[in-house]
Chains A and B, each alone.
Chain A
Amino acid sequence: AQRVTQPEKLLSVFKGAPVELKCNYSYSGSPELFWYVQYSRQRLQLLLRHISRESIKGFTADLNKGETSFHLKKPFAQEEDSAMYYCALRDNNDMRFGAGTRLTVKP
């Protein structure tokens, strides 16, 4: 079965600093990976997915099959980026999430 690991439960950076939220996975097939975000008092929502290869709100994530990683990055963090971030991997209909990383961006 697939497995997703987010090694950092908490991450704190200052506004304007780069941020990287780590995600590692274990999966024998070709993975379909996602990042979800939950802002305070809002529902969990999709941030980006690896097949789209897009940048959303300044965030990017590159799938590295050699390192089995899908780290989320942003060059200049903003206070409004403070939220809970979840990495997820889908195998057919089975969607598994990591434990999540709470990002706090300090002014």
Chain B
Amino acid sequence: SQTIHQWPATLVQPVGSPLSLECTVEGTSNPNLYWYRQAAGRGLQLLFYSIGIDQISSEVPQNLSASRPQDRQFILSSKKLLLSDSGFYLCAWSARWTPLHFGNGTRLTVT
């Protein structure tokens, strides 16, 4: 069966520091991969999605970036974090025509 792993679960980083959140999927190949940010009252904001290696669509211009170095690995990065980057980040995967399956999320606090 397919599983999705997302880490770390929580992260506290100072303003201006870099960020790397990792997400991996097991048990499937060529999944669609997604990064969302969940904020109270604002729902789930789609940040990036990828339909294949090096095929990444960015939905919101900001200081975050995403990379997909391997078929089942999706990384969310930043070179310099801002206070406004604090939030709950969710990774998800789907196969074509199947619903999204979410990871447990990462709570990021930028201090």
A residues adjacent to B (C-beta < 8 A): 6, 9, 34, 36, 43-46, 49, 86, 88, 93-100
Cβ A34 vs Cβ B99 within 8 A: yes
Count of inter-chain pairs, beta carbons less than 8 A:
47
Cβ B44 vs Cβ A45 within 8 A: no
Cβ A45 vs Cβ B43 within 8 A: no
Question: Chain A contact residues: over half helix, strand or loop, or mixed?
Answer: strand
Q: Specify which chain B residues have a CB less than 8 angstroms from the CB of A43 in the assembled complex.
A: 102-105
Q: Specify which chain A residues have a CB less than 8 angstroms from the CB of B43 in the assembled complex.
A: 6, 86, 97-100
What's the interface size class on B, roughly? 20 to 34
Cβ B41 vs Cβ A9 within 8 A: yes
The answer, yes or no, to whether B36 is at the interface (CB within 8 Å) is yes
Most-contacted residue by chain A among B42, B44, B46, B57 (CB, 10 A): B44
B2-13 contact mask (Cβ, 8 Å, vs A): 1 or 0: 000000000000
Q: Specify which chain B residues have a CB less than 8 angstroms from the CB of A95 in the assembled complex.
A: 34, 46, 49, 92, 94, 100
- Cα distance, A46 to B99, chains bound together (Å): 7
A76 smallest CB distance to B (angstroms): 26
